[in-house]
Amino acid sequence: MFKYDPLLCWPSAKDLPDSDDTPVDDQLQLLIPGLLRATLAMVWAERRDWFFGVNMGIYYHPEIPAIVPDCFLSIGVERVIDEGLRLSYVLWEEQKVPIFALEVVSLQQRGEYTEKKQLYTEMEVLYYAIYNPLSRQQAPLEVYYLVNGEYVLLPGNRRWMPEIGLAIGTERGTYHGITREWLYWYNQAGERLLNPEEIILQAEQIAQVKRESAQFERQSAETERQRAETERQRAEAERQRAETERQRAETERQRAETERQRAETERQRAETERQRAETQRQRAEVERESARIERQRAERLAEKLRALGIDPETVE
């Protein structure tokens, strides 16, 4: 690792160019670092001990031009040093070598496999990654780990970096509306960390699910309310039918009672008529009996008068 004499007057970041002024010749050299940085900004939002530089010069000697990786990560430094932010990353000011550097290879290779790799070795950058989407003979992503001053290629697609607490790997996805193979961060369980676009989309999907769930709940409640109202109306109709039946039965009972009373009245009338006829018969019988007795009495009187020599016809 480079060592710097604190007694010497070293230039500050403000005194040095912020990059090598070399324009990127591949859109991926901007998009991939942007994706990695945006994801970290979401995952490590509460942490203040890290810095992720994109296309920023790393100065390791004041008289030598900076090396400008497509992106790099430092841990154990202030995330924000002041409102002006960092113009470049100066090792004698930061006192921390980046723990991770990434180079995205374009059609014009710029020493990613040679000069830059050697310089990152001398700087003791612990992890050096090269992403070459045009590679046909080897994996597009190579991640090297510094062991005893030499880089050792890590196997697999998702390389776990315990000193960082993350893994890096490739996966097909969509970023900025572009669907292709991208570089992503992963946690120790191998789960990919979502970038801000995906988090927003996921939040929108969750919100949509909640809205649909709430709508379903409202529809279910409305359906249940309508079912209850239908049941209430059915019960009310049943009650009204029962009431109508009760009233019909009551009307029938009253009609039967009226008929019974009419029949009873008719029976009483007939009984009265029978009694009247019986009374008349008895009265006629009495009258006949009285007439018979009177006739017998008259005959006996007439006989007595004749016995006395009196003509009954002459007696008034």
What Å distances lie between residue 3 and 95, 97, 122, 221, 251, CA to CA? 9, 11, 11, 72, 115
Kindly report the number of other CB atoms within 10 A of residue 242's CB atom. 10
Contact yes or no for 57/18 (Cβ under 8 A): yes
- Which 3 state secondary structure label does DSSP give 32? helix
What Å distances lie between residue 8 and 13, 15, 44, 62, 91, CA to CA? 15, 15, 36, 11, 14
Mean pLDDT, contiguous 10-residue spans, the chain (316 residues): 53 51 71 97 95 95 92 95 87 95 88 94 97 88 97 95 97 94 97 93 91 92 93 93 92 90 89 88 88 87 85 76
Chain segment 260-303, per-residue pLDDT in tens: 998 888 899 888 889 988 888 988 888 888 888 888 888 888 88
Contact yes or no for 129/144 (Cβ under 8 A): yes
Chain segment 31-79, per-residue pLDDT in tens: 999 999 999 999 999 999 999 999 999 999 988 999 999 999 999 999 9
Close Cβ partners of 180 (under 8 Å, ≥ 6 residues apart): 172, 173
- Which 3 state secondary structure label does DSSP give 133? coil
Fold of the domain built from segment(s) 13-193: tt1808, chain A (3.90.1570)
pLDDT of residue 118: 96
- Report the C-alpha dihedral over residues 7, 10, 14, 15, rounded to 10 degrees: 140
CA 6 to chain centre: 60
